[in-house]
Structures are given as C-alpha cells and as structure tokens.
Amino acid sequence: MDYFKCNGSMINRVIINDLYDLPILNIRNQILSLKDKITIYRGDDNKEVLATISQKSILNIKKYTLEFFNQATDKKEFLDLKCDLMGSACGVFYGKEKDNAPMVCKIVRKIENKSILASPQESYYVDISPGVDIAIIVAATICFDQLKKE
C-alpha cells in the first residue's frame, strides 16, 4: 500500500507528497557543513523547519540525532539514529539509546538478488511502532540512505 510519493534527489532536495500530489515535506542536504546536516521542511519551500538530522560528532559517523518540535507535548524532542557499520540497518530511538530509550523504528536495507549496477535506488523495510509519525520516519529513511553514501 502506498502512502507517499517522493520526487527529486538529495543532490538538490527531495519532496515527499501525499497520494494527491500535495507536498507534505521536503528534505535538503547542507553540503558545506563540517558535520553532516540535513534539514526537513514543511511543504515544498524552506520557510518552516520541521526537523534536522545531524551527526552526533565528527568522530562518530554512524550516530545521528533527529531534532523536532513535538506538537503533542509542545516541546523540542529528539530521536537517536544508530546505524550499523555497513550501512544496511538503522535503529531509531525515542530519546538517548544509552539511557534505554525505546526503539520506535527499525530501518533495514532490502537485499535482493540483482546486479549491483541494476539501479542506483535501494529499497528498505521500515518497521514503525504505533503512534509514530510515518512521514517523518519516511524522511529519516531517505536521510539514512543519503548519509550512508557520504
């Protein structure tokens, strides 16, 4: 079942639309920063920031933080993204993983028996806990795909 349509590439930006082609959010990569940083905006412009994803530190290239404003709690919160060394899986935690935060999503690259030259796009299995915003997790998955290539 389809929920969203994606247009664009991370070279410029990716727009996530609903099934009626209305823009929900867009993702832009900040190429010239010391640490990897990706910004997620509402709609198709860059007026309202919904979330940012950045590297935890320059030394730790497999851990990222997704900061966002939670409208339900009316405060800024974050998700920890912990990726494996091969870039094939990522756990998303609601809070700090080291403080035993619950995992709210698991992203796993889909392994297929295809030639490596068949397609530049990769597919992922995404397991999301109930009550978690699906659109922001789709955006996080796109960002995970981009960050593992850098």
pLDDT in tens, 131-146: 999 999 999 988 888 8
Residues near 122 by beta carbon (within 8 Å), at least 6 away in sequence: 109, 110, 145
Q: Is the pTM of this model over 0.85?
A: no
Rounded mean pLDDT, 66-82: 91
Contact yes or no for 51/40 (Cβ under 8 A)? yes
Rounded mean pLDDT, 4-33: 81
Contact yes or no for 55/61 (Cβ under 8 A)? yes
